[in-house]
């Protein structure tokens, strides 16, 4: 019998998730099973599960239970919550914005060791490797570098990529997007940035790195969104 205070329940479950103890079913045991194991209230179990969800380790799905998200050393790094930041917003948001997406590259590749380390996708699986330039008011402002698991998200075409891949996933594939882990960085601009973005005097870019998971806990996307730092702001409202 393990200790039964809330902190210990959370710590024990977190250790099991990270050690892969539940990987066969990719589910946590039921609440009733956990209540019996730890001899605590349902509230205590739910509080521990909420902490795991806040850590980006699990996701509750109606009819499925608590799904465990795929865990790799890379995805475990990305537990910074940016959920209230909807995305990139133009500094000139009060003005009319002309948006255009340009497909700079579209191909299907097999994940090798280098790409595995970058994206956390398993070596040997096919992925769509896509580069999209977001042109805003006649300025190349954002470079999206996307990798989508072709086994989980099949059928992506350049035409779909030019529109909204997420609309295709949710509409045509009827797949539920459960969790997106994001990390915001400021990095030195690389050759790819200079070739695709109108950086002007900037020698650095903002980079939002995203790992996306479906409601089976399967990672289906890795994306880097490089953007010109002085062209965007992030808004967040904090209520007390």
Answer whether residue 84 shows pLDDT above 60: no
Per-residue model confidence (pLDDT) at position 77: 54
Please state, as a whole number, how many other Cβ atoms lie within 10 Å of the Cβ of residue 231.
Answer: 21
Domain interval for residue 46: 6-68
Task: Find the CATH number of the domain harbouring 198.
Answer: 3.40.1410.10
Q: Is 147 a member of any domain?
A: yes
Q: Is 164 in the same domain as 226? A: yes
Q: Is 43 in the same domain as 113? A: no
| Residue range 94-142, pLDDT digits in tens | 456 788 999 999 999 999 999 999 999 999 999 999 999 999 888 999 9
Contacts of 2 (CB under 8 A, 6+ apart): 8, 9, 12, 37, 38
Q: Is 108 in the same domain as 10? A: no
Answer whether residue 230 shows pLDDT above 90: no
Q: For residues 53 and 221, which has the higher predicted lDDT (pLDDT)?
A: 221
Task: Determine whether 76 is exposed, middle or buried from the number of CB atoms within 10 Å of its CB (0-12, 13-18, 19+).
Answer: middle
Answer whether residue 38 shows pLDDT above 60: yes
The number of folded domains in the chain is 2
Q: Is 108 in the same domain as 169? A: yes
| Residue range 46-80, pLDDT digits in tens | 999 999 988 888 989 888 899 998 877 666 654 43
Give the least confident one: 4-13, 96-105, 143-152. Answer: 4-13
For 147, phi then psi, to 5°, come to -130, 120
Please name the residue ranges forming H helices in the chain: 6-18, 31-38, 42-54, 73-77, 113-119, 158-162, 165-171, 191-196
Q: Is 167 in the same domain as 215? A: yes
Q: Is 127 in the same domain as 196? A: yes
- Burial code (b: 16+ CB inside 10 Å, e: under 16) for 92-117 equals eeeeeeeeeeeebebeeeebeeebbe
Q: Is 64 in the same domain as 103? A: no
């Amino acid at each position: 019998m393990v200790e039964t205070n809330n902190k210990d329940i959370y710590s024990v479950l977190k250790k099991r998730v990270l050690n892969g103890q539940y990987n066969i079913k990719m589910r946590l045991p039921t609440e009733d099973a956990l209540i019996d194991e730890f001899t605590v209230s349902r509230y205590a179990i739910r509080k521990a599960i909420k902490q795991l969800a806040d850590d980006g380790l699990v996701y509750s799905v109606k009819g499925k239970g608590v799904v465990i998200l795929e865990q790799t050393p890379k995805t475990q790094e990305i537990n910074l919550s940016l959920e209230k930041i909807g995305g990139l917003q133009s500094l000139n948001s009060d003005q009319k914005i002309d948006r255009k997406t340009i497909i700079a590259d579209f191909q299907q590749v097999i994940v090798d060791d280098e790409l595995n380390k970058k994206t956390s996708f398993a070596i040997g699986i096919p992925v769509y490797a896509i580069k999209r330039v977001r042109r805003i008011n006649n300025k190349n402002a954002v470079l999206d570098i996307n990798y989508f698991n072709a086994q989980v998200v099949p059928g992506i075409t350049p035409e779909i990529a030019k529109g909204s891949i997420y609309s295709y996933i949710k509409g045509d594939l009827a797949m539920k997007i459960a969790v997106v882990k994001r990390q915001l960085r400021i990095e030195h601009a690389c050759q790819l940035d200079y070739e695709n973005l109108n950086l002007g005097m900037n020698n650095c870019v903002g980079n939002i790195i995203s790992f996306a998971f479906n409601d089976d806990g399967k990672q289906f996307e890795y994306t880097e969104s490089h953007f010109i730092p002085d062209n965007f702001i992030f808004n967040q409202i904090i209520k007390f």
